[in-house]
Amino acid sequence: MSFGEITLDLLQNFAQNGLIFLLTLLGAIPLGLIITFGSMSKFVPLKYLTKTFVWVIRGTPLVLQLFVVMYVPGLVFNTPMSSRITAVLIAFIINYAAYFSEIYRGGIESIPKGQYEAGQVLGMTKRQIFTRIVLFQVVKRIVPPMGNEIITLVKDTSLARVIAYSEIIMAAERYTSKGLIWPLFYTAVFFLVFVGVLTLLFGYIEKKLDYYKG
């Protein structure tokens, strides 16, 4: 097979990595916020339940979580996972939402109490204070750690192959088993280009939000 053909094959498989990446972000970014509210709740049982959940998710390998989501429904509840992509997305979204929730929490807790009090004495509601004053400042503060986590996600998408979901590394390994080793190393180029674009994007967002200090 020619270089061009292999490139095309790898690229088609890399589209699966891109799909996992995109759908995971779409699910995990809002779910993370819900988890944040749970872990910051004044209702103590909810708070500790959420914190335990975050501990379990962050405390076990994502690979293991993929296996659990893929096989436990079938083995234990006799309702096998309908498709591999569903299992991949459930595991990735939950896993990343747990990490995002902690980044959000750090961001929210870093906003000085005076910002809330200033809103309060001006007669704003709790919701207005959050959406009009706090949220934007949080977004600005969490862009660098979110960028970090999102770049990690790009590379983690390859873990989908452990439950036989075909993506770029799995495709490259098919060549390796036929005795062709270079496509496996060549996959690095795809990741580097993707992460490079994301790095530029995050740099741009940071610059855009830099119109004020504080």
Q: Footprint of other proteins on this chain (CB under 8 A)?
A: 112, 114-115, 117-126, 128, 132-133, 136-137, 140, 211-214
> Smallest distance, Å, CB 129 to other proteins?
10
Residue closer to other proteins (CB basis): 115 or 176:
115
Contact in structure between 66 and 87 (CB atoms under 8 Å): yes
Residue closer to other proteins (CB basis): 109 or 117:
117
Q: Which residues contact 92 (CB under 8 A, 6 or more apart)?
A: 20, 24, 28, 62, 153, 156, 157
Residue closer to other proteins (CB basis): 136 or 182:
136
Q: Which residues contact 47 (CB under 8 A, 6 or more apart)?
A: 38, 39, 40, 41
CA distance 190 to 10: 9
Residue closer to other proteins (CB basis): 59 or 123:
123
> Smallest distance, Å, CB 2 to other proteins?
54
> Smallest distance, Å, CB 190 to other proteins?
37
> Smallest distance, Å, CB 120 to other proteins?
7
CA distance 199 to 193: 10
Residue closer to other proteins (CB basis): 105 or 140:
140
> Smallest distance, Å, CB 62 to other proteins?
35
Contact in structure between 54 and 39 (CB atoms under 8 Å): yes
Q: Which two tokens mark 71?
A: 């096989």
